[in-house]
Chain A
Amino acid sequence: MRGQEARDQAERKAVMATLAQSTGNDIVRLWNEAGLPSEAELLRGPETGLVTVRGRIGGGGAPFNVGEATVTRATVRLASGEVGHCYALGRDKQKAKLAAIADALWQDPTRRNEVETKLIAPLQAALASARERRRAETAATKVDFFTMVRGED
């Protein structure tokens, strides 16, 4: 039971991460294609505020405050009772609202599969391919050292 709960939380967190990383345009486009319901009671927001970003001294030492970042959050409740949240960098209120609804829909076992396949999976694929492209472009700039041999031996 505890294990199942932890797995659920990890999966939900991964879904929220995918939504937060994706652009509002991509979410809206897939949302409309999938015909997901966008009605929900807004419990909070969408509203924009700040988070203070923390780093660590030397990379792994004590935390310190680096600066702030804009974050937009929303909390919604579906007619069926599920409450969904979103926190995402930036000021896109439409994205925050849809992402919160997606989080709520995902918690409904009868809807989870639809949200996963029609929204989260394509978003994840797009993010993964963008990340892979970025990695491959960077890898092309990797220095391959070679040694110049001088003399006879």
Chain B
Amino acid sequence: MYVAVKGGEAAIANAHALLADRRRGDRSVPALRLDQIVEQLALGVDRVMSEGSLYDRELAALAIVQARGDMIEAIFLIRAYRTTLPRFGYTRAIDTGAMLVERRVSATYKDLPGGQLLGPTFDYTHRLLDPGLAAGGDVASPLQRASEADAMPRVSAILAREGLIEPDGDMPQDHIPGDITREPLEFPMARDIRLQALSRGDEGFLLALGYSTQRGYARNHPFVGEVRIGEVELELDVPELPFAVPLGSARVTECQMVNQFKGSAKAPPQFTRGYGLVFGQSERKAMAMALCDRALRATEFGEDVVAAAQDEEFVISHSDNVQATGFVEHLKLPHYVDFQAELDLVRRMRAEHDARENGGKVEEKREAAE
């Protein structure tokens, strides 16, 4: 017999009203505006766009406020929102070589066409808290330097000229890119699908796995061939126009990781690669993604799969923080009936155990008496 129990409606409504109050906090403090979040918490906004898998700054800012700054909750809100919208199509593949670059560094070449552009980076800061920010003073405008609009070829293209590196990843001619938002995950998966999953994967999870490869769990000896951040133009093919319609620009971060060689009796040794591409400015995530991409190509290169970062099913099944939080957090929802069943079971087992113990003792006594 199943007995449905109802209740808690008023408690839930009141809890949500309390949440709204606590979210707003002290009313004498001005409420945050979305443009303040977009402008001043831009990297948090970028993370929500990247893992929420939806490029829209204002929506990400709204999600952050609504979630009281809980990033995974904000990502969850964005994922839920995107299911409410119709899909117009797939863009043409972006050209990161034509990016309006805002930062571009290479750890493999000092002098490379286009140069090393540090951009707005935390690198080389001393990580000292700045009390000046708390006081909220004016900030000077950044310096400008006149420059030619240098072409900035990807570092992989430079290495490719000498054949020293494997080519950009190809798929069979007739391959249609897989889409994990349309088809359920299946293992083993093609690299294009894996990259889609990694691009929306949890930064912390991918960072830990990438770190694990550096510490020896699937060692790949990585170099950052290049990290570049900037805006790329998006274009969409639509039936009503005879050309691809320009949609505007989106900021992305790309990481080309260069890893140790692979060769065979037939092919001379070449550097191998891992690739990272994420929405917004997030080089930590793009680098972690590239490390994981390379580790997950173990079977392709005939490497032994010995570490967590190389295990495709393990990595991809657990990289999505919305799924992960859903399953972990559901544990706090009522499991009264489940638990009742477990209680009954453990009581019965204890009774059986006691019966065995006592029965045994009776047996022993009888034997001793005989």
Q: Is B332 an interface residue (CB 8 A)?
A: no
Q: Is B67 an interface residue (CB 8 A)?
A: no
Candidates B87, B154, B246; contact of A50 at CB < 8 Å: B87
Candidates B88, B167, B178, B181; contact of A61 at CB < 8 Å: B167
Q: Is B177 an interface residue (CB 8 A)?
A: yes
- Quick one: closest B residue to A15, CB to CB? B246
B240 and A85 contact, CB distance less than 8 A:
yes
Give the distance in Å from the alpha carbon of A141 to the alpha carbon of B120 in the complex: 8
Candidates B118, B238, B273; contact of A141 at CB < 8 Å: B118
A60 and B97 contact, CB distance less than 8 A:
yes
- Classify chain A: how many residues form its interface, as a range: 35 or more
Would you list which residues of chain A between 6 and 33 have a CB under 8 Å from chain B? 9-10, 12-13, 16-17, 20-21
How many whole Å from A127's CB to the nearest CB in chain B?
A: 10
Q: Mark B163-201, 1 if CB is under 8 A from A, else 0.
A: 000011111000101111100000000011101100110
Chain A residues whose CB sits within 8 angstroms of the CB of B56 once the complex forms:
69-70, 90-91
The stretch among B138-146, B308-316, B343-351, B355-363 that forms the contact with chain A is B138-146
Q: Do A70 and B92 form a contact, CB below 8 Å, given A62-B170, A138-B117?
A: no
B192 and A64 contact, CB distance less than 8 A:
yes
What are 28 of the A-B contact pairs (CB < 8 Å)? A9-B242, A13-B244, A13-B246, A17-B246, A49-B86, A49-B87, A51-B89, A51-B91, A51-B236, A53-B234, A55-B195, A58-B156, A58-B275, A59-B256, A62-B177, A63-B177, A64-B177, A65-B179, A67-B279, A69-B56, A71-B88, A71-B236, A91-B56, A91-B58, A134-B102, A141-B118, A142-B117, A145-B110
Query: Which residues of B line the A interface, CB within 8 A?
Result: 49-50, 53-56, 58-59, 82, 85-94, 96-97, 100-103, 110-111, 115-120, 142-147, 149, 154, 156-157, 167-171, 175, 177-181, 191-193, 195-196, 199-200, 233-234, 236, 238, 240-250, 252, 254, 256, 273, 275, 277-279
